[in-house]
Amino acid sequence: MSDQSDDADKTCTNRPEHVAPTGQQPPMMQPQQTARQEYQQVPPAQASAQPQPYPQFPQPAAPAAPYPNPAYPVQIQVPPYPYQPYQYQAVPPQSYQPYPYPPQAAPPYQQAPPYPYPPQPMPQAQQPAWIPRRFLTYAQQVRRAVGREARLVLFYCVVMTAVALVAQMTIATVMILQGTPESEVFSDAFSNRISGAVSLIALVGCAIYLALMRSHDPLWRGLPHELRLELTGSGERAHRKMTPVVFLLAIMLILGASDVYTFILEPALDWLSGLFDFQPSTAMDSIDASMGTLAMVLYAGFFGPIMEELLFRGLVMPALAKYGKVFSIVTSAVLFGFFHTDLLQGAYAILVGLVLGYIAAEYGLVWSIALHITNNFVFSDLFSRLLTVMPENAQNIVGYGLYIAVGVGSLLYLVLRFRDIRGYMKANRSPQGTVAACWSSPWFLVFLGLSLLFAFVTGFTTV
């Protein structure tokens, strides 16, 4: 048995690697070609005609050693487990008896009549009502913007007058209830004494009115922070930094406007009053009569200028700035002048409003407020009090000397800077038709007409 396996191994070992097909001789192993041996060159025709034997590989000289038989572990023969079939008890089949149902007859099928649905057109999607949009021309836009600001100033005056009347009547009623004679309560002296307090109360009502009407205006957003930025020339509305020279020049121009009031407007009004036998009565007379009270000093010197600058240079002028910087300055100055409802003071306020408007547009609102307070408190109040304590000759020298100095200085400055002023006006001029549209605004004309009417009614008395 082992000999047969050895012979089989030898036979397998001596068997060549490649086996020729059936009927052909197995290829013989040819010796490998070396550098000294060369194959015989056979012509291509003979090579294709004569069959070539398969290459013969060298046969080993000695038979290869037989492979050792692997040592398998001895398997233990286990007798098979006897198979025992599972025995189960057969269940006898049960007979099925159907449940006796009573016979039922199916009802006859009745076809339902068709639903009488009349043909209807397909519903169309409901489109929203088309509202034609009105496109305003440039003139209409200017009239609407100017009218909006004129209406704001007009109702500001109405609120101030109404609150002042209510406050004055309330104070008079309280004084009468306390036993004060009616003749004293309704006298001019009593009215001058309480006019400062009444004006301060009216300012509170005006502040509430502005806060309600222009609650979303950019002026109120970050106002203290914006004023601090304008002090250094880095504000959002104005970017030029204020210098002492510019501030003094602005003061000189404002005082120069007072020369126009004193030497031109006031004599002209006196001459016209003499022609018609009327005596002029200006608002400055009532203010001078009531300047002895602290309330009037606070109103005319501090809180009044602040509210006026917030209204005209803080709300009105920026709203009109998109139609031209010069247009907004001039229009706000005109509204500021007619706001005073006085002929002389109104003309003077227009000139002052031009200077304050330029300062607010170029240097910031905080500087126009500072200039307004300086003019009202320092020169109109403190300087006037200082003149009253001087001798009469000193009053004339100091007073007229100051008037002449600021008047001549203002005139020289305007003449020397005329080209610069004209260039500024050309660089910031409005489109053609802006001024005509402004002066055709209904609310603007209504405000000017009512202010002139009130000025003529209260500005003259019969002799």
Asked if residue 95 is part of any domain, the answer here is no
Q: How far apart are CA 282 and CA 22, in angstroms?
A: 145
What is the residue range of 233's domain?
138-462
Does the pLDDT of residue 65 top 70, yes or no? no
* Domain membership flag for residue 94: no
Give domain status of residue 43, yes or no: no
Contacts of 392 (CB under 8 A, 6+ apart): none
pLDDT at 292: 73
Judge whether 357 lies within some domain: yes
**What's the rounded Cα separation, in Å, for the pair 206 and 210?**
6
Looking up tokens 């398997």, which residue turns up? 75
Instruction: Assess if residue 388 is contained within a domain.
Output: yes
- Rg for the chain, CA atoms, rounded: 58
Residue 230 is assigned to a structural domain of this protein: yes
- pLDDT at residue 364 greater than cutoff 70: yes
Residues of the chain with pLDDT > 90, as a percent, come to 42
In a domain, 63, yes or no: no
**CA 193, chain centre distance (Å):** 47
Indicate whether 365 pLDDT > 80: yes
The answer to whether position 23 is within a domain reads no
- The structural domain count of the chain equals 1
Q: Which of 257, 294, 200 is nearest to 411 (CA)?
A: 257
CB atoms inside a 10 Å sphere around CB 322: 13
Q: Is the pLDDT of residue 207 over 50?
A: yes
pTM above 0.75, yes or no: no
The Cα 254–Cα 222 span in angstroms is 29
Kindly report the backbone phi and psi dihedral angles of residue 113, in degrees, each rounded to the nearest multiple of 5, phi listed first. -70, 150
pLDDT tens column, 305-350: 999 999 999 999 999 999 999 999 999 999 999 999 888 889 999 9
- Looking at residue 47, what is its pLDDT? 46
Least confident of 127-131, 143-147, 214-218, 431-435: 127-131
- Output the DSSP codes for 345-379: HHHHHHHHHHHHHHHHHHT-HHHHHHHHHIIIIII
Please tell me the predicted confidence (pLDDT) of residue 405. 93
The mean of the pLDDT values for the chain is 80
